[in-house]
Amino acid sequence: MAAVSRFSRLAAKKVYAKVFFWPHWRVGWRRLSGSDLWDTQSLEGTSWNVLPNPWSRFLADPIAIEHDGKTVLFVEDFHHDREKGVISAVEFAEHGPVRFLPSVLEEPWHLSYPLVMEAEGEVWMIPESSANREIALYRADPFPARWKKEATLLPDIPATDATIVRHEDRYWLFSTVLKSAHANSDLYLFSAPTIFGPWRAHEKNPVLRDPRSARSAGKIVERGCRLWRPVQDCRGSYGAAVGLAEIMCLNDRHYEQRIQSVLAPCPEWPGGRLHALSQAGGFEFIDGSAIALRWSSWSRNKSQDETLGSLGSSRLFINARAGK
């Protein structure tokens, strides 16, 4: 009976893959006029706009930065036909998105999770490059449309979702590693005096083994003299929900964090998954899984899709059919 059940699930997945793009994600945004998710630690009562996905592609891993008066959202731009992600960007003005910048960073290998940050007078990006087994550092040249590789911070490591924060005169790098059955459960820490290194592994690595909170879900933020880390809850599946973890201790000898709340798909953000959180310039961003028929968009104007439909955005109605 169990074998029949497994066969049925596999058959259903194959049928689903024939009909729908999978996996498929969407990015939500909202203008902040009061409390943000770090304040409320709840999605209740929120309302989100959705960036339109280009044809046969999806946008995911939203990470934003405000620099020189510009608010720019960087995203993984995944091409289903090529089975590969590049990094694209969306510029925001006062009332929402105004310009789409496709492929601001592309490599022969898959890129995702575009961690952007300011440090030492420059703007840097550390995209996930696990397919190339490295953690690489890129400098904006110029911001935001072009990026130049400046260094390999850690070679020969299939790191996922590397996230850097400065704390007590050192840089700390958080990452999970695709090298074992605990790829989404083991958190590794590294520290360095400058962003260029030398990077030293924490003596307790992996400092955490917990599928609820090891993998990063966006930039680490400081609230009330405390560091808070958005994390992916991967207990049931990859990126099922976002946990808000307070960092209780971070030093050369010890690491401790405590999950204070979990943001999961709900009527305000319907779907099957929610796996990133970011904010900048008075905007807040999340992403989640979505349903996209393989055949439904053939009649669309593809040139319009390439510019994200002139960068309009659709209101996400409270309807479970909007997500998967």
Q: pLDDT, tens digit, for every residue of 5-24?
A: 555 555 555 655 556 677 78
What is the tens place of the pLDDT at every residue in 115-143?
999 999 999 999 999 999 999 999 999 99
Per-residue 3-state assignment (H helix, E strand, C coil) for 112-134: EEEEEEEECCEEEEEEEEHHHCE
- The length of the chain is 324
What is the tens place of the pLDDT at every residue in 38-85?
999 999 999 999 999 988 899 999 999 999 999 999 999 999 989 999
Helices in 20-64 by DSSP H: which ranges? 37-40
Between CA 305 and CA 54 the distance in angstroms is 5
Give the alpha-carbon dihedral of 196, 200, 205, 206, to 10 degrees: 10
pLDDT of residue 297: 47
Coil, helix or strand at residue 302: helix
Q: CB–CB of 176/188 below 8 Å?
A: yes
Helices in 20-148 by DSSP H: which ranges? 37-40
pLDDT of residue 23: 79
The domain ranges of the chain are 25-31+44-209+280-322
Q: CB–CB of 46/35 below 8 Å?
A: no
* 25-31+44-209+280-322 placed in CATH 2.115.10.20: yes
First to last CA, the chain: 28
- Residue 221, Cα to own-chain centre: how many angstroms? 15
Between CA 62 and CA 322 the distance in angstroms is 19
Task: Indicate the helix (H) or strand (E) that contains 98.
Answer: strand 96-105
Between CA 88 and CA 103 the distance in angstroms is 5
| Cα→Cα distances 5→91, 161, 265, Å | 47, 34, 27
Give the alpha-carbon dihedral of 77, 115, 95, 228, to 10 degrees: 130
pTM across the whole model: 0.90
What is the tens place of the pLDDT at every residue in 261-309?
999 999 999 988 999 999 999 999 999 988 777 765 443 444 444 445 4
pLDDT of residue 252: 95
Q: CB–CB of 263/244 below 8 Å?
A: yes
